[in-house]
Amino acid sequence: MPTDAVTMDKIVSLCKRRGFIFPASEIYGGIANTYDYGHYGVLLKQNVIAQWWKAMIQERDDVVALDSAIIQHPRTWEASGHLAGFTDPLVDCRTCKKRFRADHLGELECGKRPSKHPGEDAQCDLTESREFNLMFETTIGPVKEAGATVYLRPETAQGIFLDFKQVLQFARRKPPFGIAQVGKSFRNEITPGNFIFRTLEFEQMEMEFFVPPAEAEDWYRHWMQERLDWYVRLGIDPEHLRLRAHDADELSHYSTGTSDIEYLFPYGWSELEGIANRGDFDLSAHAAMAGEKLEYRDPQGGEAYIPHVIEPAAGVGRSMLAFMIDAYAEDEIGGEQRTVLRLHPALAPVKVAVLPLLRKDGHPEKARAVYEQVRRTMNAEYDDGGAIGRRYRRQDEIGTPFAVTIDHQTLEDDTVTLRDRDTLAQERVAVDGLARLLQDKLAVD
């Protein structure tokens, strides 16, 4: 259970220790809610994204890919409602000079008395709440005053709506069909973020699925199930996932219905991904603002309509966090404690470690040859530093499903020991055909 074995402290410390994820700008003391991804973090992140593309594109015929710009025409955000409505209510404390989300005061700590909430202590002096827009502003042009104010996108979705007409033409698709995109989004979040759960910049995996209006409800249900299944297929315990429909007062300005896929993080149930029924809000709003028709005309009947949109919107960082938390385990081998990430093989940053038992007697040379063989088809790591037990433990901690050990017998009969991360079973297998064997073992779905 993530709530028992794992704490956020353990995950944060593992991420830092093994270089998955660590605070950005650390030499300057860090910067709020901003993290850098190191070697294993990058590999895990790429694997999460690859699995999302696989589910969206490779396994379907009705979704196409897009990579739109981060900075779009500023009227985009007027039409989408983000300029007017993408805000959080904030209060400042005149005593401690800290800023708080007015609607989260009960969960936050007073700047001077962390045992109390802001406003609880007699010394607290909070301002009236005011709306604070979450979009980051910048300027195009060399002179700030003369330049045009533009915004870093707070969601990737709007780029998809702007390109709807183009994609309709070149992709030769008709509703129901989707446009998928993965990319960075930016939000000026001021609430402390629970590690990478809430950050200022983050990657989103979003898909806008355009449907005939009468089919919207069915597709909404379809995408809720599809997305829930995706997390389970990639190893998350179904008991740690739930769907929660938004109450009317929680709905975003564009949505007629939203359900969150929530995950049981160590600090409680929280949103992993949102599935929204956006109706025709966005296409209608951009059509009106740009004076363009953003509709689909049936070539047979000739009837034109504005498609409705079902949107599954996931966060890469949040998914990674959930995959790591769910995979985290501590157990004991031969009286020694180990930490293991039981990641799904498709997500594991390294698929196999190749380890010479000794740093002499021809073991390293043979191990390097085996390593060269397997790395052609999968991400592998060669490690000859330290006792074999420690090397196994290092690989367990980063979630490597298999370890191959080269020993004196290898030099006699060309076999190696294959160790399974989860069962700890060790079998003797031939070097000849090892890469194929590993591929078969890794190809679980």
Given the rule CB under 6 A, which residues bind ligand GAP? 155, 157, 187, 189, 198-199, 202, 204, 206, 271-274, 311, 313-315, 317-318
Q: Which of 227, 241, 239, 317 is nearest to 275 (CA)?
A: 227
Residue in the shown chain whose Cβ atom is closest to ligand GAP: 315
Report, in Å, the least distance between residue 201 CB and ligand GAP.
Answer: 8
Tokens 């009106």 found at: 288
Report, in Å, the least distance between residue 196 CB and ligand GAP.
Answer: 7
Report, in Å, the least distance between residue 313 CB and ligand GAP.
Answer: 4
Neighbours of 72 (CB within 10 A): 17
- Residue among 204 and 395 whose Cβ is closer to ligand GAP: 204
Q: Counting every residue, how long is the chain?
A: 445
Burial class, 24, CB count within 10 angstroms (exposed 0-12 / middle 13-18 / buried 19+): middle
Report, in Å, the least distance between residue 271 CB and ligand GAP.
Answer: 5
- Residue among 85 and 433 whose Cβ is closer to ligand GAP: 85
- Residue among 15 and 352 whose Cβ is closer to ligand GAP: 15
CB distance 365 to 382 below 8 Å: no
CA angle 196, 201, 205 (to 5 degrees): 80
Handedness of CA 71, 72, 77, 83 (dihedral sign): positive
Q: Which of 171, 3, 139, 2 is nearest to 71 (CA)?
A: 139
- Residue among 278 and 394 whose Cβ is closer to ligand GAP: 278
Report, in Å, the least distance between residue 203 CB and ligand GAP.
Answer: 8
Neighbours of 298 (CB within 10 A): 12
For residues 220 and 384, give the distance between their C-alpha atoms in angstroms, rounded to a whole number: 51
For residues 155 and 175, give the distance between their C-alpha atoms in angstroms, rounded to a whole number: 23
- Residue among 121 and 271 whose Cβ is closer to ligand GAP: 271
- Residue among 206 and 407 whose Cβ is closer to ligand GAP: 206
Report, in Å, the least distance between residue 19 CB and ligand GAP.
Answer: 21
Neighbours of 231 (CB within 10 A): 22
- Residue among 271 and 384 whose Cβ is closer to ligand GAP: 271
Report, in Å, the least distance between residue 183 CB and ligand GAP.
Answer: 12
Report, in Å, the least distance between residue 227 CB and ligand GAP.
Answer: 11
Token digits for 81? 């409602």
Report, in Å, the least distance between residue 172 CB and ligand GAP.
Answer: 26
CA atoms within 13 A on the CB side of 387: 3
Report, in Å, the least distance between residue 114 CB and ligand GAP.
Answer: 23
Amino acid in position 141:
G
- Residue among 62 and 189 whose Cβ is closer to ligand GAP: 189
For residues 313 and 275, give the distance between their C-alpha atoms in angstroms, rounded to a whole number: 6
For residues 316 and 2, give the distance between their C-alpha atoms in angstroms, rounded to a whole number: 19
- Residue among 245 and 333 whose Cβ is closer to ligand GAP: 245
CB distance 366 to 356 below 8 Å: yes
CB distance 279 to 256 below 8 Å: yes
CB distance 345 to 393 below 8 Å: no
Q: Tell me 355's DSSP state.
A: E
Token digits for 34? 């901003």
For residues 20 and 2, give the distance between their C-alpha atoms in angstroms, rounded to a whole number: 19
Q: Which of 416, 380, 419, 424 is nearest to 403 (CA)?
A: 419
Report, in Å, the least distance between residue 154 CB and ligand GAP.
Answer: 7
- Residue among 62 and 271 whose Cβ is closer to ligand GAP: 271
- Residue among 64 and 275 whose Cβ is closer to ligand GAP: 275
